[in-house]
Chain A
């Protein structure tokens, strides 16, 4: 949501300044990502860091509080209504023959998401920070003992996660063409559903989960009724959690005490 709004604002200012379309897209995307990342960093400092080591309910509740706070902040500072989002992605000429089944914006979205996925996988697998992240996810205390700066790692995950959310926000906003302050809420739940569906902690899993979720929604909307699109998404989530809590690609792990 923050990403989409930042994109909108930057794009609006730049359009007023009269820059060419492609440079607007790139600049808006970069600024949206940077700002969202900064927001993620700040949110973590305020609502999560002071609660490290608190009972497990505490960070959850403060996270919900933060989500309500941010939504209402955007609503009050900008507008409670839907805002038309400019088409940031220009139609490229070589795409003209295929436009009927693949518009330039679709291509751009596919290419961007695939490159982000690859980059993220490489980052998690091969960099020092990625390794530290995996260690922290497995066992925070052990990671601390072997010298991982856990606070820094968690900050970093928030920065990266928020930045990626901004990419998604700008892309989906320019695809759909309108935004409002509440778009992030459903997107957040669906992102969680996709991650759980694929198996928490696995990037290919999250990709697969996202695809399965998207297909389920589209087919359900097409064959049953588009009114119940979101109902199917939630039902899928509930079913997955009941029958395969580890997700499609996750490993069932025995619980240790």
Chain B
């Protein structure tokens, strides 16, 4: 039976490969130059496509079979099964030393590795926090926010402009940026309270575009597409330092912020509002019927997510000392979303893992950098189809009632 199954799978894959090759034929093979009226034929691409899609189709069918069997097995079992990796990480005997080791590596990192590596790690850490922030809105509360990068832009521009016009320092703007971010979060949250699903996604996407377009076109306010340069680095009690030291300094600020964020989001998840978010995600009407204030929960989710994004914006502006609207496109939002989706919606550890994977891998595999967004798109589809819970499944806290003591 297994052999017959494999044979049908192979046949199906071959058909799929032929179909895909047929579909992609004109676009990958023919290239037209309309000015000089010449046509280039690139038949080799078709061969690659055939081979590639055949392999992919086999993998697809194999995974599909596994998924279907998994669903069937799941129904028999009833209980939620956990992956080995997650169970291993759950074990306190493993988790504690691992956490200590991670912290140790993180602390000594800038002294061991070069400034270049530290810089990469800073951006990865920024994305960890951004991912955790979006995780609140998308992962916990289930509100798909496609304009998340707008809040990031708000923070970055808040610092850049306040610094440019009023010479305000990093430490003054950090809390201001957070407040401003929360304000913008609520500003977006109010009109979209009643929306859900596709509508919410499109409106948030539109909001993100509005913010970017305004920044791009309102020259008097934001200096337009040329951006703002010479933004001050964070101050250290008036001590002056070199660029190298500044990187290290920002790295430590970032590390502190990451740890703070992890702590806050992890605690929030099991708090009253965190449980309200989960209920909201599962079923809005039932949630309301249980006496949860939907409006408040939604606004809280938006505001908190936006606050974190805005904080990161301030750090980003201070790190690069130059910002322009090109850093805040929809693709950025999509990337943060990919981080959350790949890592596991709702799981703090998963989002961290997702951020490191999606930011560090392309950084160290420059050869494939052209294909980065292509792979991101494919990742989002594949994760949704085959592993909707992400790399690490979010775990709900289980409260056990001790019946004997009662």
Cross-chain contact A238 with B206 (CB below 8 angstroms): yes
Q: Could you say which of B202, B370, B377, B388 contacts A66, with CB atoms under 8 Å apart?
A: B377
Q: Which of A5, A58, A230, A241 has the most CB atoms of chain B within a 10 A radius of its CB?
A: A241
Binding site for B on A (CB under 8 A): 2, 5-6, 8-13, 15-16, 35, 38-39, 42, 46-47, 50-51, 54-62, 64-74, 76-79, 83-86, 185, 189, 192-193, 196, 225, 227-228, 230-231, 233-235, 237-238, 241-242, 245, 255, 257
Which residues 6-61 in B have Cβ within 8 Å of A in the complex? 19-20, 23-24, 26-28, 30-35, 37-39, 45
Q: Is the CB of B146 within 8 A of A64?
A: yes
Per a CB cutoff under 8 Å, which of B209, B213, B285, B376 touches A257? B285
Cβ-neighbour of A68 out of B199, B203, B205, B377 (below 8 A): B377
A228–B213 touching, CB < 8 Å:
yes
Residues of A within 8 A of B373 (CB): 68, 71-72
Interchain Cβ contacts under 8 Å between A and B, 20 examples: A12-B32, A15-B37, A50-B64, A57-B144, A57-B345, A58-B388, A60-B144, A60-B198, A62-B380, A62-B385, A65-B379, A71-B377, A72-B374, A73-B27, A76-B371, A189-B209, A225-B217, A231-B213, A234-B209, A245-B194
In the assembled complex, how far is the CB of residue B150 from the closest CB belonging to chain A, in whole angstroms? Answer: 12
Measured CB to CB, the nearest residue on chain B to A59 is B384
Chain A CB within 10 Å, residue with most, of B35, B209, B378, B384: B384
Given the complex of chains A and B, what is the CA–CA distance between A64 and B19 in angstroms? Answer: 23
The reply to whether the CB of B341 lies closer than 8 angstroms to some CB of chain A is yes
Q: B206, B285, B385: which contacts A237 (Cβ < 8 A)?
A: B206
Contact B384–A68 (Cβ < 8 Å): no
User: Is there contact, CB below 8 Å, between A51 and B385?
Assistant: yes
Contacts of A74 in B (CB 8 A): 27
Residues A6 and B213 in contact in the complex (CB < 8 Å), given A50-B64, A72-B373: no
Once A66-B381, A238-B207 are accepted as A-B contacts, the answer to whether A60 and B201 lie under 8 Å apart by CB is yes
- Asked if residues B27 and A65 are in contact (CB atoms below 8 Å), the reply is no
* Distance in Å: Cβ of A162 to nearest Cβ of chain B: 12
Give the complex CA separation of A242 and B188 in angstroms: 12
Point out the residues of chain B lying under 8 angstroms from A193, CB to CB.
202, 206
User: Contact between A69 and B34 (Cβ–Cβ < 8 Å)?
Assistant: no
User: Which residues of B sit under 8 angstroms from A185, Cβ to Cβ?
Assistant: 330
Cβ of B138 within 8 Å of any chain A Cβ, yes or no, is yes
